[in-house]
Amino acid sequence: MEKREVLAFDNITFRRDGREILRGVDWTINEGEKWVLLGLNGSGKSTLLGMVPVFTHPTSGELRVFKKTFGKYPWEKIKSKVGFVSSTMYSFYNTLNYYSLEEIVISGKYSTIGIYQDLETEDYIIARQLIKDFNLEYLKDGTFLNQSQGEQRRTLIARAFMNNPELMILDEPCASLDLKSREYLLKTLNDKYEKTNKPLVYVTHSIEEIFPAISHVAIMESGKIIYKGRKEEIISEDILSEVYNCKIKLNWENNRPWSRIIW
């Protein structure tokens, strides 16, 4: 049976100030696939994924989401079906400062902030469940401004799930999370993605964040995807040692890889 395409980058390039930041990216994500995107600092991961919510436009190539081509379809309709959390959204996050946890999570229903018409009892039930799922209940009386960076990150991820998006993109969700919060978030995401056919794109620098429900891995280097495929094929000592240009040892435990550098 042919898989349904959800997100496709076809020969995408991005040039800025005379520099080629993306150099012909080809990558397709199908229904049911949960991808991790790895890559060195500055390889172009955030630039590439930021094209989905239109933080940047491709210089050339074709971007398709739900089989609709960017530039040939009203993109607001697409954006409302995509959950996106990235630290590149600082200016938006500042607008949340004086809202409560529940207000922020529930605002994810319309991907807006400060609009609360058309909310139903069911919405509050969903928001409260997400607050529970992401272990945020202890923050219910405070505002976003008073949350730590890691707590803000988890609040935004809970918000992104509020409208049950068809595609979720999480750009370094575990950045600034302590060890226990990281493991809790990974477990929550694993529980969610083990049970759904909805696709995920998860950007990280840490091999051990490749939780069991992740099915595929792509690796970016200098503006290109240099490896992509099922995680068991891509997460190998040979490939990682080549990409990071050092000797890497891997250990798989309960379908999760752990890595260390051999000096």
Ligand X SMILES: Nc1ncnc2c1ncn2[C@@H]1O[C@H](COP(=O)(O)OP(=O)(O)OP(=O)(O)O)[C@@H](O)[C@H]1O
Nearer to ligand X, 39 or 108 (CB): 39
Q: Which is nearer to ligand X, 15 or 79 (CB)?
A: 15
Query: Measured from the CB of residue 65, what is the shortest distance to ligand X in angstroms?
Result: 19
Pick the closer one to ligand X by CB: 105 or 170: 170
Task: At 173, give phi and psi (nearest 5°).
Answer: -65, -25
Q: How far is the CB of 29 from ligand X (least distance, A)?
A: 17
**Least distance CB 175 / ligand X (angstroms):** 9
Minimum distance between the CB of residue 21 and ligand X, rounded to whole angstroms?
A: 4
Task: Supply the minimum distance, in Å, between the C-beta of residue 46 and ligand X.
Answer: 3
Pairing of strands 82-85, 167-171: parallel
Task: Using the minimum distance from each CB to ligand X, give the nearer residue, 46 or 188.
Answer: 46
Pick the closest to residue 9 from 18, 17, 21, 22 (CA basis).
Answer: 22
Looking at the Cβ atoms of 119 and 175, the one nearer to ligand X is 175
Q: What is the 3-state secondary structure (H, E, C) of the chain?
A: CCCCEEEEEEEEEEEECCEEEEEEEEEEEECCCEEEEEECCCCCHHHHHCCCCCCCCCCEEEEEECCEECCCCCHHHHHCCEEEECHHHHHHHHCCCCCEHHHHHHHCCCCCCCCCCCCCHHHHHHHHHHHHHCCCHHHCCCEHHHCCHHHHHHHHHHHHHCCCCCEEEEECCCCCCCHHHHHHHHHHHHHHHHCCCCCEEEECCCHHHCCCCCCEEEEEECCEEEEEEEHHHHCCHHHHHHHHCCCEEEEEECCEEEEEECC
Q: Between residues 130 and 225, which has the closer beta carbon with respect to ligand X?
A: 225
Query: How far is Cα 249 from Cα 94, in angstroms, rounded to an integer?
Result: 41
- Cβ nearer to ligand X, comparing 26 with 232: 26
Closest separation between CB of residue 11 and ligand X, Å?
A: 18
Site residues, ligand X (CB under 6 A): 16-17, 21, 39, 41-47
Q: How far apart are CA 125 and CA 59, in angstroms?
A: 43
Supply the minimum distance, in Å, between the C-beta of residue 44 and ligand X.
4
